[in-house]
Structure formats: C-alpha cells, structure tokens
Amino acid sequence: MNPETAAICKQCGADLDEPVGSDYVERLIHALDHPEPNTRALAATLLGKIGDERGLRALCEKAKTNDDMTLLEAVAEALGNFPSLEAVETLKKLAESQWLTVREKAKASLCRISDAD
C-alpha cells in the first residue's frame, strides 16, 4: 500500500496525483488498464457489482481486446450481473475461450442471467 502522501505508486509507477475520471465508475473503468493484473481483475469485479451501464460497455470491450486470463475470468463473472443482450453475446464468446476457468465462469454467468429471466 502506498503512503497517503505518495505521488507515485510504488507497485506500478502510476502518477497518483493525475486526475482519473469524475466518479468511481470512471476510475474503475480506467483501472481495467492498470499494469497490475490483480487491480484489473478487482476493477472488473467491482464494475459487475455496481452494475452501471458504462461498466457493461467497458467489460464487453475488454473481453474482445484482452487476453489476460485473470482479467477475462473476472469479466466473465462480472457480466453475469448484467441481464442484457450485449452481456449475453460477450459471455457466449467467452464460453469458447482457450482457458477452462474463463469458459466455466462464462457459462455460470449465462446460467445466472437465464435464471433471472
């Protein structure tokens, strides 16, 4: 953890004084590109819990453009909280991932969405 007065993150070198987004969701979307893999995954998880439409778009975009297994697992799980056509389409693609854990989480999220209907 960084000291409260730190200007630079000691983990990744990010400028901590740089303004990022105007609200928490925008900050989480920005964190999807963080150099630390666990931070990216946590951001995806939190976006799924919050359920904001902006998060849905960002998560779907990451699913299309990213190949980080840890992030894709979190995206697959998070998308299960968005009962939308866009989430379902993205989850169907993730259900064909090269990684078993991503496929399993995508299929579980698809079940959650269909159970919610």
Number of domains in the chain: 1
Question: Is 19 a domain residue?
Answer: no
Question: Is 2 a domain residue?
Answer: no
Question: Is 104 a domain residue?
Answer: yes
Classified as helix, coil or strand, 61 is: helix
The confidence score (pLDDT) of residue 112 equals 95
Q: Along the 117 residues of the chain, how does pLDDT read in single tens digits?
A: 667 777 777 777 777 677 666 789 999 999 999 888 999 999 999 999 999 999 999 999 999 999 999 999 999 999 999 999 999 999 999 999 999 999 999 999 999 999 876
Question: Is 85 a domain residue?
Answer: yes
CATH number at residue 68: 1.25.10.10
Instruction: Provide the phi-psi class of 102: left if phi over 0, else alpha when psi is between -120 and 50, else beta.
Output: alpha
Question: Is 4 a domain residue?
Answer: no
> Is the separation of the CB atoms in 117 and 87 below 8 Å?
no
The confidence score (pLDDT) of residue 5 equals 78
Range of the domain at 105: 24-116
Rounded Cα–Cα distance for residues 87 and 106 (Å): 10
The confidence score (pLDDT) of residue 87 equals 97
